[in-house]
Structure 1
Amino acid sequence: MIRIVIAEDQHMLRGAFASLLQLEEDFEIISQVSGGHEALSMIEACKPDICLLDIEMPGLTGLEVAQTVRDRGWNCKIMIVTTFARPGYLQKAMNAAVDAYLLKDEPIEFLVEAIRRVMQGKRVVSPYLADSLFTHEANPLTEREQEVLRMVSEGGTTRHIAEHLYLTTGTVRNYLSSAIQKLEVETRHHAIEKARDRGWI
C-alpha cells in the first residue's frame, strides 16, 4: 500500500485529488492538509511514502517543505503538483531533490502513473517542462544585485535597503539600475518578475 499525504490549499482541488487517488487499490490517503507547516507535521507524525505538495501554500511553500524534508533526512518521496510552469521553480525543485514536478493540468492517469514510478525510484517531470531542464540559463546578477532585488520585492524602500545593507541610497539605486540593465527590462518591477521567473531571487 502506498501511503500518501496531500498538501493543497484549494479545498475543492484537494478533495478531488483525494477522491480520485483513493480509487486506486494500492493507494491510501492518510492525510489532507492546506498549508506547509501542517504538511511537515503530518510527514513527521504519519511517515507517509509520498507527499503531494502544491508550491504556493500558507505558512511554508511546497519548495520550503521539500527542502526541510531533505535537510532532516526523512524518508518521504516528494512530488510537486502545481500550476506553475516557471523554469525557476522547476530548478529550485530539482535543487531540493524532489522526486517529481507535475503540472495540475496533466490527466489524473499521468499522476497515478507518476506516483508508481516515483515509488520505483524514478524521477518524473511533466513533458511540457522537460526541455527546460536542459536549457538552464546562467544568472547574470551579482549576489548583491540579487539581494537588493529580493528586498525590493519584499516591499523594502531604497532608504530601508541602504540602512539594512550599510550602503548609501545612491549605491542601492546603482545596483537596481545595473540589475535592470542586465535583465534587459525597463522597470524594477519587471526586473523582479523576470528574476523570480528564472529562479534567481
Structure 2
Amino acid sequence: MIRVLLADDQALVRGALAALLDLERDIEVVAQVGRGDEVVAAVRHTSPDVCLLDIEMPGLDGIAVAAALREAGLPTRSLMVTTFGRPGYLRRAMDAGASGFVVKDTPADELAEAVRRVHAGLRVVDPTLATESLIGGPNPLTDRERDVLREALDGATVQRIAGRLYLSPGTVRNYLSSAIGKTGADTRVEAARAAEENGWL
C-alpha cells in the first residue's frame, strides 16, 4: 500500500481527495492536516510515502513544507496539488524538493496515477503548467525584491515597508524600482500583483 498524507486548509477538499484516493486498492490515506506547520510532525508520526500538499495554507505554505521535509531528511515525497496553477509556483516547488505538481481539477484516476509515479521516484508535472513555466522563464526577482513586494501587496508605504523589513527607505526604494522594472509594472502595487499572479512570491 502507498501511504498518503493530505495537507489542505479546506476540509471539504481534503475529504473529497481522501474519499477518491481511498477508492484505489493500492493507496491508503493515513493522515490529514489543515495547516502547513502541522505536516512535518504528522509525517514523523504516520510515516507516509507521499504527501499531497496544497500551496496556500496557514502556518506554512506548501512550498515551504516541501523544503522542510527535505531539510529534515524525511523519505516522504511531496506532490503539490493546488488550485493555483502558476508557473512560478511550479519552479519554486521543484526547487524546494517537490516530486510533482498537479492542479486540483485533475481527474481522479490521473491523480492516483500521479501518486503512484511520485511514490516510484518519478517526477510528475501538469503538462500545461510545464509549458507555461518554460515559456515564462525563471523568476527574475531576487529574494529581497520578493520580500519588499510581499509587503507592498497591501499598499504599504515605503516607510512602513522599511520598518517591517528593518531596511532604510532608500534601500526599499531601490528594490522597488528594480522589481517594477523587472515586472514591467508602473507602480509598486502593480508590480507586487504581477509577481503574485506569476507565482514569484
* TM-score category, normalised to shorter length: 0.7 to 0.9
Deviates more, 1:137-146 or 1:123-132: 137-146
Deviates more, 1:178-187 or 1:63-72: 178-187
Deviation at 1:176, TM superposition (A): 2.5
SS at match of 1:102: strand
1:21/1:143 CA distance change after superposition, 3 Å: closer
Q: What residue is the counterpart of 2:33 in the other structure?
A: 33
Alignment of 1:67-78 (within 5 A): 67-78=67-78
Q: What residue is the counterpart of 1:20 in the other structure?
A: 20
Asked if structure 1 preserves the Cα contact closer than 8 Å seen for 2:161 and 2:172, the reply is yes
Q: Could you tell me how far apart the structure 2 residues matched to 1:147 and 1:55 are?
A: 18
Deviations 1:37-84 (A, max 9, x none): 222211111111111111111111111111000011100011100011
Q: What residue is the counterpart of 1:117 in the other structure?
A: 117
Q: What residue is the counterpart of 2:152 in the other structure?
A: 152
Deviations 1:174-197 (A, max 9, x none): 542443233221221110122233
Deviation at 1:129, TM superposition (A): 1.0
1:36/1:143 CA distance change after superposition, 3 Å: closer
Asked if structure 1 preserves the Cα contact closer than 8 Å seen for 2:155 and 2:189, the reply is no
> For this pair of structures, how many residues does the alignment match?
200
Deviation at 1:135, TM superposition (A): 2.9
Q: Could you tell me how far apart the structure 2 residues matched to 1:166 and 1:116 are?
A: 47
RMSD, aligned CA: 2.2
Aligned residue type for 1:76:
T
1:182/1:76 CA distance change after superposition, 3 Å: closer
Instruction: Tell me the TM-score normalized by structure 1.
Output: 0.88
Q: What residue is the counterpart of 1:194 in the other structure?
A: 194
Q: Could you tell me how far apart the structure 1 residues matched to 2:83 and 2:95 are?
A: 19
Q: Could you tell me how far apart the structure 1 residues matched to 2:92 and 2:122 are?
A: 18
Asked if structure 2 preserves the Cα contact closer than 8 Å seen for 1:37 and 1:60, the reply is yes
Asked if structure 2 preserves the Cα contact closer than 8 Å seen for 1:35 and 1:57, the reply is yes
* Structure 1 portions without partners, runs of 5+: none
Alignment of 1:125-164 (within 5 A): 125-141=125-141, 145-153=145-153, 156-163=156-163, 164=165
Q: What residue is the counterpart of 1:89 in the other structure?
A: 89
Deviates more, 1:104-113 or 1:156-165: 156-165
Aligned residue type for 1:157:
T
Q: Could you tell me how far apart the structure 1 residues matched to 2:167 and 2:38 are?
A: 38
SS at match of 1:135: helix
Report which of the two structures shows the higher radius of gyration computed on alpha carbons.
1
Percent identity between the two aligned chains: 48
Asked if structure 2 preserves the Cα contact closer than 8 Å seen for 1:89 and 1:197, the reply is no
Q: Could you tell me how far apart the structure 1 residues matched to 2:171 and 2:6 are?
A: 46
Q: Could you tell me how far apart the structure 1 residues matched to 2:39 and 2:109 are?
A: 24
Q: Could you tell me how far apart the structure 1 residues matched to 2:161 and 2:132 are?
A: 33
Deviation at 1:171, TM superposition (A): 5.3
Instruction: Tell me the TM-score normalized by structure 2.
Output: 0.88
Q: What residue is the counterpart of 1:179 in the other structure?
A: 179
Q: What residue is the counterpart of 1:62 in the other structure?
A: 62
Deviations 1:159-179 (A, max 9, x none): 234455453x45533542443
